[in-house]
Amino acid sequence: MRFLAALSLILSVAALSACSPQNETAAVDGEPMVSPILTSDDAKDPFSYAQPEVARVTHVALDLALDFAQENVSGTATLDILAADGADTVILDTMGLIISSITDETGSDLPFELGEANDGMGAPLTVSMGRKRQIVIAYTSGPKARALQWLVPEQTAGGKHPYLLSQGQPTLNRTWIPTQDSPGIRQTWEAKITAPEPLTVVMSGLSGGDPVEADKGRRAFTFAMDKPVAPYLIAIAAGDIVFQPLGPRSGVWTEPVMLDKAAAELADTEKMIDAAEELYGEYRWGRYDMIVLPPSFPYGGMENPVMTFLTPTFIAGDRSLTGLVAHELAHSWSGNLVTNANWSDSWLNEGTTSYFENRIIEKLYGEKRASQERALNFAAMEETIAEKGSDSDITALHLTGDNAAPEGGTSGVIYDKGANFLHTVEAIVGREKFDEWLESWFDRHAFEPATSAMFLADLRKNLIKGDAALEAKLMLDEWVYEPGLPSNALRPDPAAFAEVDKAAEAYAASRTLDKAVWANWTSAERLRLLSKLPKQLPDEELAKLDRDLGLTASANNEILFVWLNLALQNRYEPAVQLAESFLATVGRRKFVAPLFKTLVEQDDWGKPIAKRIYAKTRSSYHSVTTGTVDAVVLDGK
């Protein structure tokens, strides 16, 4: 199966129509694009077995069947290999895969060895390919493949059909795709996926057209990504899902009963794409579609090219949480276009994206909202640095040692300190110059991996240009390689939350809040107030807060989460039922893990509640979420 090869003369993505997403294909101009491999020590990935400087995967072609009864995928992965002269083996990453055979393109068997598994990394698959440069792996995903979550109908909004979703970042795609699973080894890919009728399959590549009948009762869907991407960005979802266009190059997929709400919340998407392009240049992926998944999805969003995966918890009814969409869209430049070569430089993906997100928000919704969101993020960064210690290595942007593991960083640093670094540079050099440089960074390194050292070298060469005084003001190495917060950090405007902070001070003194003022506040202002409330509150004050502000009834999941966390910290019994309901219907790790942690920290009161709830809800969570919560609730059981 060679979908990309068969499409060598297909239409340019610029001509695609938003109203017929199943008829879209990726542009292929001449030879397939091959990204470089970085060979410097700081670019090497210790969490992959691959040796890409010897032999590396350039293209993956999947031909897979989805089996909802057995909860696995099976079929073949055909890999194109680019190897050094004389290289006769290639090493791949796998985790739990059941390998049936490996052949060359003619069907002749190739010797292979599946090595010993290492916890968290899986096992190396070494293929003796000789002079061959294409290998075909027949395999089945193992039981409980960690990237894949199989949902029964009762776990979906519609309740009629099963559902499959994947989450591959950072190193989980090796549980269903045998390839070199490292962000620095970018690959083009294509796929043919068969699924039982009437389920629809979507992937993070452009569709090859309407599905065709495969075996009896099954349909085949085809996809292609002709631009090399980090392998964690190959994603799949299948279920009872439908599409609604949002603009000429954007649309939303979700379950039918969710479609109207999702489309209404995402109505500004096309404007966001326009704003992003005005800031930092052309959107290079053709379409920007999204899928709103069942609530078990473990993240707020995942920036899979062409098909951003979104949690339904961002739907508040007033578009107050659509900063999430701006963030995932911004990843189309920072993260997808230019990718951290390994996980020690995760801030290059997330910090740059958080900065970009804020610029999109400012362009669409104004400086006030952008300023408030910057202030919230700055507070989160300060809290993280205070918690970890300003001399702790985990508060540096470039991570080392155990902190450089795929999930070893912390969001207050990777996202918030990273974003503040770029806001600081912008403030010192001026917005116009900084924007010109950042757009040129994306252009110079498009479809390539990058490291912190490369980022700083580019800044020095193309922005600082030998200006010693400017170099001293920026404190670049201190930002990236040293822990804590540099002295030149751009601090939020005190006026951003002046009214809110005044109300919080008044509450501390009088224990009263103006309900009318709260009603007119933005989501950011409400979150700021809740963060400023006293940490210890008696039941009667918590009850009054809930009555006056309507916290329990809030449709905004960010506010509901902060309220529940505060209430549980104070052992507020009336909040337990709401917490149980929330944890039973939301799988987003950002919410789930802290709430369980808060309960466990309440010792004799909270631990039994946490264990009781988790016993009921654990099976509904993705492995990304259980991997964190198990350590909180089950350790020491």
Catalytic positions are: 328, 415
**How buried is 431 (Cβ within 10 angstroms: 0-12 exposed, 13-18 middle, 19+ buried)?**
exposed
Report whether 133 contacts 232 (CB < 8 A). Answer: no
**How buried is 635 (Cβ within 10 angstroms: 0-12 exposed, 13-18 middle, 19+ buried)?**
exposed
Give the 3-state secondary structure of residue 399: coil
- The CA-atom distances, in angstroms, between 119 and each of 47, 116, 122, 123, 176 are 11, 10, 6, 9, 17
Asked if the peptide bond before residue 198 counts as cis, ω within 30 degrees of 0, the response is: yes
Report whether 293 contacts 311 (CB < 8 A). Answer: yes
Spatial distance between the Cα atoms of 590 and 149, rounded to a whole number of angstroms: 18
Spatial distance between the Cα atoms of 344 and 400, rounded to a whole number of angstroms: 6
Listed residue (151, 532, 587) closest to 596, CA to CA: 587
Here the tokens at position 140 are 């089945």
DSSP bridge pairs for 448: 338
Phi, psi (5° rounding) for residue 209? 130, -175
Give the 3-state secondary structure of residue 238: strand
The amino acid sitting at 151 is L
Here the tokens at position 426 are 């912008």
Here the tokens at position 310 are 């979104």
Listed residue (258, 286, 292, 261) closest to 273, CA to CA: 286
DSSP bridge pairs for 66: 73
**Dihedral over alpha carbons 256, 257, 258, 263 (to 10 degrees):** 60
Spatial distance between the Cα atoms of 354 and 331, rounded to a whole number of angstroms: 9
* Pairing of the two strands 112-114 and 55-67: unpaired
Q: Which residues contact 2 (CB under 8 A, 6 or more apart)?
A: 61, 78, 190
Q: How many CA atoms lie within 13 A of 591 on its CB side?
A: 30
DSSP bridge pairs for 190: 61, 224
Here the tokens at position 363 are 């362009």
* Radius of gyration from C-alpha coordinates of the chain: 25
